[in-house]
Chains A and B, each alone.
Chain A
Amino acid sequence: MAWLILQRLGLGVITLVLVSMLVFAGTEILPGDVAAAILGQNATPESLAALRQELGLDSGPVARYLAWASGILHGDLGQSLANRQPVGELLWPRFGNTMALAGYAAVIAVPLAVGLGISSAALRGSFFDRAANVVALATVSLPEYFLGLLLILFVSVQWGLLPSLADTWSGMGLAAWLQATTLPMLVLVLVTVAQIMRMTRTTVLAVMDQPFIETACLKGLPMGRVVLVHAVPNALGPTINVVAFNLTYLIAGVVLVETIFNYNGLGRFMVDAVSKRDVPMVQAAAMVFAAVHVVMNMLADIAAIALNPRLRHPRVKES
């Protein structure tokens, strides 16, 4: 099993390297002159040449990639084109903000969603199950900005309970922070709870249809014990995958939510960088998002390996 986990770790590292190549290729090698794109209509031959040299566009793509990649490994994410500041200084505080918001949402969404998913699977076909499904189907379909705007309209504009803009600054108190971020958190929770709940339900139901659950019922075990002792442990691995999958969505998908509430996170940072065509910033932000995604999925896979009884307790030789 340790070998399998090592393999998965190795695969994760390889994936990260390949992903970095893709990101680099996507930003720099796609057709179109980056320098001309950045300067737009103000381009003069001299300024173009100067910018090309500054960007290192006169050297080959492989050399540029290696320089960029080794920079990342040394913690150097390059320099912003727009305001000449190191990308790292701009990026990490915003990344922290995004993680804080996503974490806040996850702490509430995951237990709620997994609990709802398991209960609705256990009570399959009941009124609760059907109602939960209809509500989940509806919330899954609602775009973030619709939910966000509804919440702003009622909670902040009409009832004046919470601010409509999620203004945060370093050094603000926890209470103030919670007040500022609760609305965006709610939107994220609404969107992810439905998703995780539906997928958890499907996962648990797939286990509930296995013959060993029928055996447990025919042993006369009470329904609660059948679900908690026999079904849930077997659904754990897939459920962890479901949760990890949706948490990565939380982190990458905050882009929209951050824009709605004008929250100072990595998502909005990246959208700004894309509008300004600030290549180093886009590269760095994309790399961070992709890395989080890869690492989360890797952790989920490792958890699933660690939970698999066949791998934990390998077959012994017959005596």
Chain B
Amino acid sequence: MSFLLRRLGFYFLAFWASITLNFLLPRLMPGDPVTRMLSRSQQRLEPHQVEALRTMMGVDGGPIIPEYFAYLGRILTGDFGMSISRFPTPVSEVIASQLPWTLLLGLTSLIIAVILGNLLGILAAWRRGGFLDSVAPPLLVFIGSFPYFWLAMGALYIFGINMGVAPMRHAFSVGLVPGFNLEFILDVAAHLFLPALTIVLVSLGGWMLGMRNTMIATNSEDYILMAEAKGLRPHRIMLNYAARNAMLPSVTSMGMSIGFIVGGALLTEVVFAYPGVGYQLLAAVQGLDYPLMQGMFLTITAAVLIANFLVDLVYVRLDPRVRKG
């Protein structure tokens, strides 16, 4: 329990650090973001809204400490301000409409990559020097060397443009009404397939090698030998004895890699014009929509922290040593 409390405290600290970074960034950088933004917004803003923006970005040079606490208060109540590029929608609304798609893409590809990569790693370590152990790692490392977005471009080119079998953009076909019916779900799955595939392909190698290397260490433990001596069936030793104990580092790195998946999803979303947070973040950067950008960043950070906490919960379940310590 104290372990979880400590982790929770740490996540709050990390979130506070990113809010502070968000607060300081426009104040430390040279130039005036508000003026840059105003030239894009084509005078759609009322004077008092410009004033609010100036205060938020700290351009008016007011006292920094009270401003900081006001900012903290606004963020904690979920008020990220107004989006400039999609004026007058509040930032939180824009984010809420994009977040489910990123979660869908990120989680699908993460779960597939973790399960598949760990299974391959277990099998490769179990048959050292066998076919899987000698062919798969170098191949997957090579595929993993490609940038996410480039592999996505290649997949889009081959399957979308040349063969015409995959949808080119968006999360579902234009004209389809979102709803919980078979037609819509199938359409979403078809749009999800290629983006998820590219993320899985790139991240698979890391999972497989990580699992393989811990499995190799676990395989030389005495309890494995003991299990063999007892005459247990090989696949039972492999899964229940070796793999189960080799899983722990994988679970830890799952927490770490959620951040990478979000980043990879960002680039993949841009290539496939997938309407997730990453796609919107880039649109916000191009439109010089600083409030939306900052809101996006905080939302992504919060999502990653929550995911890490969930991983901690799983970890406590798996490793009794943490529960006692």
Report whether chain A binds chain B: no
